[in-house]
Amino acid sequence: MQPVFASYPLGRFRRNRKSAAMRALTEEVTLGVGDLIWPVFLRDGTNRRDPIASMPGVERLSLDLVVEAAALAHDLGIPAICLFPYTDPALKTADCREAWNPENLTNRAIRAIKAAVPDIAVMTDVALDPYNLYGHDGLVRDGIILNDESVTALVRMALVQAEAGADILGPSDMMDGRIGAMRAGLEAAGHTDVAILSYAAKYASAFYGPFRDAVGASGALKGDKKTYQMNPANGDEALRLVARDLSEGADMVMVKPGMPYLDICRRVKEAFGAPTYAYQVSGEYAMIKGAAAQGWIDGEKAMLESLIGFKRAGCDGVLTYFAPEVARLLRR
Ligand code: PBG
């Protein structure tokens, strides 16, 4: 598209910004509640909520409270909720077997939410880190994160989640070949309508710190995730990964983190036109909440500006811890 405009003084861009009415008419993208996926943290017990120090306003919730949260999200018009479990350290093993226990926290939560709030889409996390003695997303042997053995474990985990009623599986593990293996497993098991939202372009990022506190993985993790998560310097590789995951049967793709990678969101959307999501991760949330708590920025405005940025970059939606807060604001 070739921009054409009269030169000054005939052309005055400020005309279209003169009033709220003119700004509304000329707005290019909008943020709606339908764009939101709300990540929530689970814990065991009843009527229990733990604040997460590095994520002000976010709590780990016991199953009964997560069901209430899902009902509230549904009432607000939020289409999907994404579950992340805080696993009892006693259940973490080297073989990560709790990951495919049909009665684990996530699977119990899926069933409880689908029974009480059937119309909200339930998304899961498919990765081994909450269950792993070593804190990694894949199985570890002699300090090496194993690819193919991890894929086998992840498929077992995914199938149990599908069986529990998950609508969207979110493989966040970054092993090679997992999307194809999961899609084949789902087909074979008759779960033909379960969607896969692939964490296709997931970077090895410092912005995941607060999340690892929330799921209790910080203590266990030895080293970093650079052998499976992407190098922040790479953009072309993100396109190859998205192409690969779409061709293996992903229905939707994600770029993660969000704000430092808006160029990737734009390129992915333009290259493939597939449903594209950004994950505004825990560290991004913490930065906005932390600065707002100091009185250094206006938290509400910064939240809205950060989210509209994802829409402008071409995203169809955003996973954000702000989901209920922004949904309430959009309703007003
Ligand atoms: C791990 C996983 C991570 C996040 C979602 N799934 C952290 C990691 O890769 O170490 C991060 C989300 C966030 O920071 O909000 N499977």
DSSP string, 118-164: TTSEEEEEE-SGGGBTT--SS-EETTEE-SHHHHHHHHHHHHHHHHH
* Residue 22 in domain: no
Residues with a catalytic annotation lie at: 202, 256
Output Rg (C-alpha) for the chain, integer angstroms: 20
* Residue 245 in domain: yes
Does the structure show a pLDDT above 80 at 218? Answer: no
Domain range for residue 35? 31-331
For the beta carbon of residue 136, count every other beta carbon within 10 angstroms: 26
Q: Would you state the pLDDT for residue 213?
A: 87
CATH number at residue 146: 3.20.20.70
Mutate to test the pocket of ligand 1, among 211, 226, 259, 289 (most ligand atoms within 8 A of CB): 211
Do you find a cis peptide bond into 56, omega within 30 degrees of 0? Answer: no
**What is the percentage of the chain residues whose pLDDT exceeds 90?**
94
Does the structure show a pLDDT above 80 at 190? Answer: yes
What is the pLDDT confidence band of residue 151, given thresholds at 50, 70 and 90? very high
Which helix (DSSP H) or strand (DSSP E) does residue 68 occupy?
helix 63-76
Mutate to test the pocket of ligand 1, among 281, 285, 320, 321 (most ligand atoms within 8 A of CB): 281
Tell me which residue has its CA closest to atom 11 in ligand 1: 208
Is 81:73 a contact under the CB 8 Å cutoff? yes
99 lines ligand 1 (CB under 6 A): no
Report pLDDT digits (tens) over 10-53: 999 999 999 999 999 999 999 999 999 999 999 999 999 999 99
Mutate to test the pocket of ligand 1, among 123, 203, 208 (most ligand atoms within 8 A of CB): 208
125 lines ligand 1 (CB under 6 A): yes
* Residue 14 in domain: no
Task: Dump strand ranges (E) for the chain.
Answer: 36-43, 49-51, 59-62, 80-85, 121-126, 140-141, 144-145, 168-171, 195-202, 252-256, 276-280, 317-320
Name the average pLDDT for the chain: 97
Greater pLDDT, 236 or 332: 236
DSSP, res 231 = P
212 lines ligand 1 (CB under 6 A): yes
C-alpha dist (Å) from residue 173 to 19, 184, 197: 47, 18, 12
Q: Would you state the pLDDT for residue 222?
A: 82
Round to whole Å and give the CA distance between 199 and 277.
9
Round to whole Å and give the CA distance between 109 and 120.
13
* Residue 256 in domain: yes
Round to whole Å and give the CA distance between 150 and 175.
7
* Residue 11 in domain: no
Which residue is it, tokens 């009415």?
21
Tell me which residue has its CA closest to atom 2 in ligand 1: 172
The three-state secondary structure class of 293 is: helix
What is the pLDDT confidence band of residue 66, given thresholds at 50, 70 and 90? very high
Q: How many domains does the chain have?
A: 1
172 lines ligand 1 (CB under 6 A): yes
Report pLDDT digits (tens) over 91-139: 999 999 999 999 999 999 999 999 999 999 999 999 999 999 999 999 9
Does the structure show a pLDDT above 80 at 207? Answer: yes
* Residue 12 in domain: no
167 lines ligand 1 (CB under 6 A): no
The three-state secondary structure class of 295 is: coil
Does the structure show a pLDDT above 90 at 210? Answer: yes
* Residue 124 in domain: yes
Round to whole Å and give the CA distance between 318 and 330.
15
Which residue is it, tokens 């710190």?
209
CA of 23 to the centre of ligand 1 (A): 37
**What is the percentage of the chain residues whose pLDDT exceeds 70?**
100
* Residue 13 in domain: no
Which range, of 180-184, 199-203, 328-332, averages the lowest pLDDT? Answer: 328-332
- Per DSSP, helices labelled H in 273-319 are 282-293, 299-312
What is the pLDDT confidence band of residue 225, given thresholds at 50, 70 and 90? very high
281 lines ligand 1 (CB under 6 A): yes
Q: Would you state the pLDDT for residue 221?
A: 87
CA of 211 to the centre of ligand 1 (A): 6
Q: Would you state the pLDDT for residue 194?
A: 98
